[in-house]
Structures are given as C-alpha cells and as structure tokens.
Chains A and B, each alone.
Chain A
Amino acid sequence: MSVMNQTPKKEFVLAVEGLTVSFDGFKAVNDLSFYVEEDEIRVIIGPNGAGKTTVLDLICGKTKATGGSITFRGKELTKMSEHEIVHAGIGRKFQNPSIYEDLTVFENLEISFPRGHSVLGALAFKRDAEVIAAIQEVADEIFLSEHLNKTAGLLSHGQKQWLEIGMLLIQKPDLLMLDEPVAGMSVAERKQTAELLNRITKGRSVIVIEHDMQFVEDIAHRVTVMHQGKTLSEGSMERVQNDPKVIEVYLGH
C-alpha cells in the first residue's frame, strides 16, 4: 500500500482504492484496489462470481459502493450519477448486447452521439452533416456500414455486440469498459473483434472482462485476476498464468 501511495496518481486514468460493496452482508467486492494507466488495456479475469461485473457496475455508477473510492482523472466517481460518469468520459458495454432493437442501426448510433442530451437538446436535435459523418465513420469501423437502415433487432448476435461497441465509440470515451465482448461470437467474428479492439483502443484506456484466454492473450497489456471480490494476482499474462495462486483457483474447482 505504501508503495502505491508514493506513486503520483496523475499517471493513472483510473484509480480504484479500497473499493467495497456489500449486498445484505455479502461482500461482492471486498477492499479491491487497482490502477489503470493511460492507453492501457487491462483485462479482468476470474471464476464466476468473483465480482468482475460488479466492479464495472461500481465504476459506471450502476451500483453504489459501500466503501472506498474510484477516481477517474481526479474526479471521484462514487458520488456521481450514471449520466455524469458518462459525460466524464467513461463508456460501458454490457454483457448481453444491450441495443435498441426497435430502432435502426443508424438511430442506435445517433442516440449515442454526444450531443443533445438534455430534454430541450433532444427536442432541438438536428441530424446534420457532422452527425451523419460521425455515424458513417463508426459504422465503417464496426463493420456495419451496409446495415445502417436495418432494424437493430434483425442483426446477428455478433453484429449486435459490434453495434454496442460502436455506440460507445461514438461517445469518444477516454475509458472503455467491455463486459465479455466476444461472448457468443463465432471464431471469425472473434478475430474481427480482436482486430477491432486493437484498432479502437489507440489513445484510450480499456478495461475488458473476458473468459476466452486466447482472446485475453491477444489483447491484454496487463491482467488482473479476481477471486471472491479481491485481487488474486496482477501483472502480465505470462506472470499471471504461472502464479500458483491463480492455478489453484482455476484448477482447484
């Protein structure tokens, strides 16, 4: 702890310190600390129920912390509401593709475009060239430029995952949090997604939760292993894979 306190916080985009949340006495996340650096891709792995998704919920404000702090570029997030956290520059993708199935791909992206977020702003919102250009650009990136007018509910599972990633990209977040971005994807789609992530993570920090170890190896800079709400191990993929504690948790079950 003392070593951590000496390092200046400014290098970190995100600092999670002593984070705890308890649901009726059960500590889903227990005194968790970790730090994400500028332009880092951090992957969080761990067995089911380790508290991975809860950590993302806590960072994006979906769940309120019982104790500890989360600072993002010097701002304390635990006191902020969800939309304020988004405006601070954090985007989050959910585990199951969370898109608006009744709207078209274009409209899905348009709603995520960072303008006209107040009631009056939304009433006065104009679909101008800037918006259209931004949507085209993101659609190209997420392989959906051919499907802009398609109702999002008709997309394949993998395409829905990409669309949600696209909805985050158009917000231009500084920190991107992805919860199992390749779950349920075909091998070809996984490859495309890894490529996509490697492209879009330039110039921003990313936290990914993933079970697919091959995928983790492909993208991770550093890996945090969680177990029972705590950090079990942290470091490069190689180091983590050889950590006896990690081996025990994964193989001991």
Chain B
Amino acid sequence: MRRLALALALVAASAARAETQAPPAAGAEEKPLQAWEVDLFAGYGQLAWPTQDTTNLGWSNGGPGFALTFAYRGPHFTHPFFELAYIPILGSGRYVNVFTPSGTQTQFASNSTWAWGLVVGPGWDVDWFRFRAGVGLYDVVVHTNVAGVTNTVAQVTVGFQAAASALVWRPDPFAVGVEVRIVGLQMPLTGIYQSMWEVGLTGRWDFTRFR
C-alpha cells in the first residue's frame, strides 16, 4: 500500500510540476495546438502475478485485450485521459479433486477470468513516446466450470494501470505504434491481488484540433 501511495504521489507531483511550468512565450503569438484524441489498443495479455500453481495444470493462457481511450492534449506536458478497457487475466484447465456422492473424485475444471475497467489518469507525450498511468474501477469476472457445472461471479475492485507506447508511424492526424501495459488489481482495503501485462498495437486519431 505504501508503494502504491508513493506511485500516486509521484504521478500527482509530476502533474503539479508540469502545471507550474510556463509554456514557452517568446515570439509565440500563435497559441499552442490543442486536441481531443481517441485511441484504440488491441493486443494480447495475461496474468503476470501471482504465479499459478502448476500442479495438475492441463493448459493455461491469457487472451486478447482491448481499450478505447479519450484524451485531451492541451498546452501542458501532462494530458488527462479516460479509458474503457477489457483486460484478459487468465484461462486455464486443471485436474482437481472434488466431492461427489460416491466420494472424492478427480475431475477436470476449466476456468477463466477477465476484467472490464473504467480508468482515468494523466499521460505524457515525449517525442513519439507516450506514457500513461491511471486508476480505475474494474469489474472482475470469474467464470468457472468444475466437473461440468458452470458459474460466473463478478466483483468490482480498484485497479491501477501503467502504459508505455512508441508511436512509430504518424500520418497526421493519426499515429500508430506499439504499446505495453501493466495492470494491478486491488481488492478493497487489502493489498495488490493480481497484476497483468498486455502488449499490442495502438492507434491515435486527433478527431478535434483547435488553438
């Protein structure tokens, strides 16, 4: 928790410093360009931590992840963003011992878990690199199938996200590049529970620009 508080404080400090730095004024009669942008991310991701118990594990994988982001780029170094994200966490199949009317039996269980997130936070553009850190509410869904019986459970939790992008191709007003993300989910009032990584392609479109 202390590390998370430190992270948030550092992000806030970064934003505050940017606010206090005056934009270059000399000879700048022209106002700086501002833009509303929409971003799309599509990639692959899966659970990074905690490590899985591999005992009797049959298969395990992550899945496709997506994100739709709106951001406002103003004259400041820091830009705010709002995001709707789908985060794959894990899918796996394993043999488990369960109780049956005839006693304990080994059965196959296939489970998957994913999360929908609403995330806000600051971002920073440094040349053709982009960094973002956010905090959000995540609806974590667990779908289980144990011995043929299915069940789906959902729980809302707090989460944190960090992303780094390299926008390598920038045909104005678009930009396309690669992106790496990490997401940490935290259950209410307790420590970090799960963290995921994602890697994929990202695209940016400045759908509104003004000065």
The reply to whether chain A is a binding partner of chain B is no
Residues of chain B having any CB pair with chain A under 8 Å: none
